[in-house]
Amino acid sequence: MTSPRHLTYFVALGLFWGISPSLYRHWGVLGMPITHVIVLTGLGVGVALGIICWLRGIDWFGGVRLQLFGMGCAALMNIPFALGLVFARHVPPTELALIISTAPIVNYLVALVTGRENAAPRRLMAIGLGFVSTAILVVTREGMLSGEISWWLIAACSMPILYSAYNWFAAHYWPRESHPYAAGVAESIWSGLLALPFLVFFAPPWSAEQLPLAAYVTIGFACLMWIVERIAFFTLIREKGAVFTVQAVYLSTPAAVLIAVAFFGGSDMWLWASLAVLMGALYLNNSGSAARPMST
């Protein structure tokens, strides 16, 4: 049974995931260095969560096992995070949001291929609809009908696969004795530290081509938002499991599209058609007997 606490975390997670594609686009419009985003948000969220742990008497370090877990999560998360920031500069946030939202379907496809789950008809149908949803986006984008291929949009389809690897690792290697807040500290700090050498090499703070301080206001907002997101994500992963947690896309998918349309425009009938098909795919993937492996 889902408690009001878990429901609150679930709603917060879905809404914050929904805001993210528009934030990525905003930073792209500003010309914010990608390494700055990853380092500042990683260290900012990590330090803030560490302070919360200290105030609550929680062991924020958690030992070597937790740190290795955090490093693994950070490495697997930084890659699609960085790619998302790149793709957001070339793909409209509405379309990027829909592509990212196919992650639960890709999760099942990967589990099916690796033998961790059995074939369920409803979920196989969900995979088909997921591909249809993506195909609608790819085929109907500007230039595609005249023979020009949107390579950025196609490349963005790698993100759900990479996020699936991250979600699987977080659920499979979770150190059960560790507090969710401490896991958030470990992942966030390592996220910033792993990106720090790239920041120094590609966009050092002492270079002349730096943005004014005011441009970094939304970085602070993102840190506050992702503090709650980290707490919600790791709590739900630990207490409710990966299948329940990833269903937050039911909220994040329409929220992401509506937020992106409100701030950046760019909607058309094909976008809404793709969203409708994707929501149907997500429903099939996470409802009824489809949510459970079939017996062999």
Determine the pLDDT at residue 207.
Answer: 78
Domain map of the chain by residue range? 5-291
3-state secondary structure at position 34: helix
pLDDT band per the 50, 70, 90 thresholds, residue 293: very low
List of residues 6+ apart from 222 with CB closer than 8 A: 23, 37, 41
pLDDT band per the 50, 70, 90 thresholds, residue 295: very low
Answer whether 76's CB lies under 8 Å from 166's CB: yes
Q: How many percent of the chain have pLDDT more than 90?
A: 44
Calculated CA dihedral for residues 131, 132, 137, 139, nearest 10 degrees: 110
Taking alpha carbons only, the member of 13, 28, 8 closest to residue 260 is: 28
What whole-number distance in Å separates Cα of residue 52 and Cα of residue 47? Answer: 9
> What are 194-248's pLDDT values in tens digits?
999 999 999 998 876 778 888 899 999 999 998 988 888 878 877 887 667 877 8
What whole-number distance in Å separates Cα of residue 246 and Cα of residue 87? Answer: 22
What whole-number distance in Å separates Cα of residue 223 and Cα of residue 188? Answer: 10
Please give the DSSP secondary-structure letter assigned to residue 290: G
3-state secondary structure 164-214: HHHHHHHHHCCCCCCCHHHHHHHHHHHHHHHHHHHHHHHCCCCCCCCCCHH
The helix, strand and coil proportions of the chain, stated in percent and rounded to the nearest 5, come to 80, 0, 20
pLDDT band per the 50, 70, 90 thresholds, residue 178: confident
Determine the pLDDT at residue 276.
Answer: 93
Determine the pLDDT at residue 193.
Answer: 97
Determine the pLDDT at residue 149.
Answer: 67
Give the least confident one: 34-38, 77-81, 98-102.
98-102
Question: What is the rounded average pLDDT of the residues 167-191?
Answer: 88
What whole-number distance in Å separates Cα of residue 72 and Cα of residue 186? Answer: 10
Task: Count other Cβ atoms within 10 Å, centred on residue 197.
Answer: 11
Answer whether 167's CB lies under 8 Å from 107's CB: yes
Q: In angstroms, what CA-CA distances link 3 with 10, 184, 229?
A: 10, 22, 18
pTM of the prediction? 0.85
Is pLDDT of 294 > 80? Answer: no
Determine the pLDDT at residue 72.
Answer: 97
Determine the pLDDT at residue 288.
Answer: 57
Average pLDDT value for the chain = 86
Give the least confident one: 14-23, 50-59, 272-281, 284-293.
284-293
> What are 248-289's pLDDT values in tens digits?
878 888 999 999 999 998 788 889 999 999 999 888 887 754
Complete DSSP assignment for 61-127: S-HHHHHHHHHHHHHHHHHHHHHHHHHTTTS-HHHHHHHHTTHHHHHHHHHHHTTSS---HHHHHHH
3-state secondary structure at position 239: helix
Q: In angstroms, what CA-CA distances link 238 with 22, 48, 134, 179, 287?
A: 28, 21, 31, 9, 21
Q: What is the CA radius of gyration of the chain?
A: 19
Answer whether 96's CB lies under 8 Å from 17's CB: no
